Amino acid sequence: MTIGDPVFWLAVLQIIAIDVLLGGDNAVVIALACRRLPPAQRNKGIFWGVFGAIALRIILIFFALQLLALPWLKLIGAILLVWIGIKLLQPEEGGDHGEVAASTHLFGAIRTIIIADAVMSLDNVVAVAAASRDSMALVVFGIAVSVPIIVGGSKLVLKLMDRFPIVITLGGMLLGWIAGEMAWSDAAFKAWTAQFPSLLHYLVAAAGALLVLGVGKWLARRVPEKPEKLIDLAEEQRSHSEQEQRR
């Protein structure tokens, strides 16, 4: 696969979309970890923290690519991707960002960013490895392009997600699509899948996308109302009743 191949650029776009969708929290962690640094050191903390986190992520993806070459592991990875996609479609329950320790020292902030990114990035690593089509060059290129988008435009992206929920839905379906492609290309099935026309490959990918959409939406509808939301509704109803009585 060369840089002039449309498949190359499709994979790059998938990697960027995955990093933006699953990497929004990473930008928040960076800000929290550096919030107590002196102003003169904040930019250094952000730069070296992001550099170390991305380097570690590339190393993890390299090992993930090696493992995914083994029989059955792509199928396991595909199941994990479906779960990640379904999880993406669930209502947010409030993050644990407040637990991110802020350091007054440059090295401490960098260490916090790298450790937090490693803990939070399992879903990102699996998804990017799946989208890379076994190309390490694609991984590095896709992540390099997506880093400034995550760090510089995370607030804009998060606002878009809040305003247009379809963005998150499409992101979850993208993960399901990649999961279908991943399962189809598992080394254990190569001899079997080679007997079928290439069109079936896209049908399996589409089935993965629809599976994430269907199960994700079904589970989201089963989530009970949050207590805070119920209290707000009760207050609203009481206020409305008082207004009616005054009339």
Q: How high is the pLDDT of residue 209?
A: 94
Q: Which residue has the higher pLDDT, 3 or 47?
A: 47
pLDDT band at 214 (very low <50, low <70, confident <90, very high): very high
Q: How high is the pLDDT of residue 26?
A: 65
CA neighbor of 172 nearest in space, from 230, 127, 223, 139:
127
Q: How high is the pLDDT of residue 87?
A: 85
Query: Looking at residues 102-131, what average pLDDT do you find?
Result: 74
Q: Which residue has the higher pLDDT, 218 or 73?
A: 218
- For residue 206, pLDDT beyond 90: yes
Contact 79, 186 (CB under 8 A): no
Burial of 117 (0-12, 13-18, 19+ CB in 10 A): buried
The residue extents of the domains of the chain are 6-246
Q: How high is the pLDDT of residue 239?
A: 63
pLDDT band at 204 (very low <50, low <70, confident <90, very high): very high
Q: How high is the pLDDT of residue 178?
A: 87
Q: How high is the pLDDT of residue 27?
A: 65
| pTM > 0.85: yes or no | no
Burial of 69 (0-12, 13-18, 19+ CB in 10 A): exposed
Note the pLDDT tens digit of each residue in 169-194: 888 888 889 889 888 988 888 888 88
- Two structure tokens written together for 136: 């390490």
* Cβ neighbours, 10 Å, residue 170: 15
pLDDT band at 112 (very low <50, low <70, confident <90, very high): confident
Note the pLDDT tens digit of each residue in 60-86: 888 888 877 788 888 888 898 898 889
156 vs 128: CA distance, rounded Å: 22
